Amino acid sequence: MDVPSEHEDEFNHWYNEEHLPELLSVPGVLNAARYEAVMSGPKHLACYELQSPSVVETDAFTSRKPTEWAQKIGPRVIGSNLINNVYEMIHPSNLTTDISGSDMAQALQIGRMDIALENSDEWNKWYSGVYVPNYEKVPGCIRGRRWKAVKGQPNYAVVYEFEHSKVSESSEWLAQRDINPDNPRMRDLMTHAPGSPGIWNKTFQI
């Protein structure tokens, strides 16, 4: 989301001091961090790792009452370009010990996209089996994970977890773009959401 510059300081104080601790107290919210865009946008990104997508439907999550501070400065009051999607991980197909034991990455590159139904099987097989694994070979790329939307649009997202925000500017990253002959054709099948892909750098974590 984006926030008017005159409200940004107070918004950040509210989010870091009240909102993030409140959400982390909800059962099933495992981890969270805030990020700011270094490429594309919106500027502010908050990522929450959940035990399952159903966490956002629990009483503990939905019955939270907005505080006076939240009613003054919360995202739905002052924010714009608000994206409030919920995704379920589809790649890797199972949670690994490396993932469950890792912290929120210092930088994220996120792509959000759709694919026509008639192309989805071939495209998903390529994305998870070829495209992401090749980028994971690049120095500074911790891992890539793919997600399917449970709430919101577009239907798919890919999140590359980086050691720093410049990873995808490296020659090693660029060399992977067309290393497989299927890559150009398969990329042409998908439609990116406005502003996708973007890169965000971590600014706060409890």
Q: What is the pTM of this model?
A: 0.96
Q: Give the model's pLDDT for residue 15.
A: 98
**What are the tens digits of pLDDT across the range 77-120?**
999 999 999 999 999 999 888 998 899 999 999 999 999 999 99
**What are the tens digits of pLDDT across the range 111-159?**
999 999 999 999 999 999 999 999 999 999 999 999 999 999 999 999 9
Q: Give the model's pLDDT for residue 7.
A: 97
Question: Would you identify the CATH topology of the domain 5-204?
Answer: Alpha-Beta Plaits (3.30.70)
Q: What does the pLDDT average to over 38-59?
A: 97
> Where in the chain are the domains?
5-204
Give the number of C-alpha atoms closer than 13 A to the C-alpha of residue 170, restricted to the C-beta side.
16
Q: Give the model's pLDDT for residue 198.
A: 98
Q: Give the model's pLDDT for residue 100.
A: 87
Closest CA to 42 of 82, 73, 8: 82
